[in-house]
């Protein structure tokens, strides 16, 4: 999980076993969750803020979605809190996720990032982040946008009842499978169906807060 020995050319159209097990909110990661508490994050202020203020709320914009997609890819095989604690380090290392800058990173930048303790130092994920910035610029050159690609795969909000337990939260869905397939077709890497679904959760394309979650009980509703 998260080993530096992963193949640089890995595209992950299918999730790895580690990816499936490390999904931020699913039945596999929720053992012992007490009713009436946050879906995740209780006890860690950084995690609590992310849960309360970001997770499940709609995200739009090229840089913003590129950031979320990149962070979800780096999370694969690791705990999400590990990524959150290094988020500012990632922003510094990847030029605040400006794809025009990251697309120009070369081998020297890869080695620089491999020596940066402020991020998760995984060569396959670093090279994928650079390749994805290049793919994003290519997409823009064809008149497209990452925002349109992502949100065209958003399911009908009323298609599934709000989950009551983590057993009701899928690790992947037909929409995430289709999104991962489309991203791969467009040249994006390291975004399999499970990572795509985690990004959909993080970007508010789906709202998987449990029915007894304080965010739900407080009546906080995501807005597009």
CATH number, domain of 137, equals 1.10.340.30
Classify residue 19: in a domain, yes or no: no
The average confidence (pLDDT) of the chain is: 85
Rounded CA-CA distance 188/43 in Å is: 35
Tell me the Ramachandran region of residue 42: left when phi exceeds 0, alpha when psi lies from -120 to 50, beta otherwise.
beta
Q: Which residues span the domain enclosing 138?
A: 34-218
Classify residue 26: in a domain, yes or no: no
Classify residue 7: in a domain, yes or no: no
pTM of the model: 0.82
Rounded CA-CA distance 46/25 in Å is: 17
Active site residues per annotation: 50, 72, 80
pLDDT value for 54: 94
Question: Using an 8 Å Cβ cutoff, are 10 and 77 in contact?
Answer: no
pLDDT value for 165: 87
Give me the torsion for CA of 42, 27, 60, 224, rounded to 10°: -80
Q: Give 221's pLDDT tier (boundaries 50, 70, 90).
A: low
What's the total number of domains in the chain? 1
The CB density around residue 54, as the number of other CB atoms within 10 Å, is 14
Classify residue 20: in a domain, yes or no: no
209 is in an annotated binding site: yes
């Amino acid at each position: 999980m998260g080993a530096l020995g992963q193949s640089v050319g890995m595209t992950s159209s299918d999730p790895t076993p580690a990816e499936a097990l490390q999904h931020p909110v699913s039945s596999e990661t929720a053992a012992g969750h007490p009713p009436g508490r946050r879906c995740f994050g209780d006890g860690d202020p950084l995690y609590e803020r992310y849960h309360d203020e970001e997770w499940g709320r709609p995200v739009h914009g090229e840089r913003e979605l590129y950031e979320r997609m990149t962070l979800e890819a780096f999370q694969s095989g690791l705990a999400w809190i590990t990524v959150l604690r290094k988020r500012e380090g990632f922003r510094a290392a990847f030029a605040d996720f400006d794809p025009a800058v990251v697309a120009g990173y070369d081998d020297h930048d890869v080695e620089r990032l491999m020596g940066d303790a402020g991020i998760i130092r995984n060569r396959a994920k670093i090279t994928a982040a650079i390749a994805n910035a290049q793919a994003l610029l290519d997409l823009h050159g064809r008149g497209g946008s990452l925002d349109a690609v992502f949100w065209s795969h958003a399911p009908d909000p009323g298609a599934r009842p709000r989950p009551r337990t983590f057993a009701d939260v899928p690790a992947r869905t037909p929409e995430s499978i289709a999104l991962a397939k489309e991203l791969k077709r467009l040249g994006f890497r390291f975004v399999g169906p499970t990572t795509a679904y985690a990004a959909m959760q993080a970007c508010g394309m789906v709202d998987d807060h449990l029915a007894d979650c304080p965010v739900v009980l407080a009546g906080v509703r995501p807005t597009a």
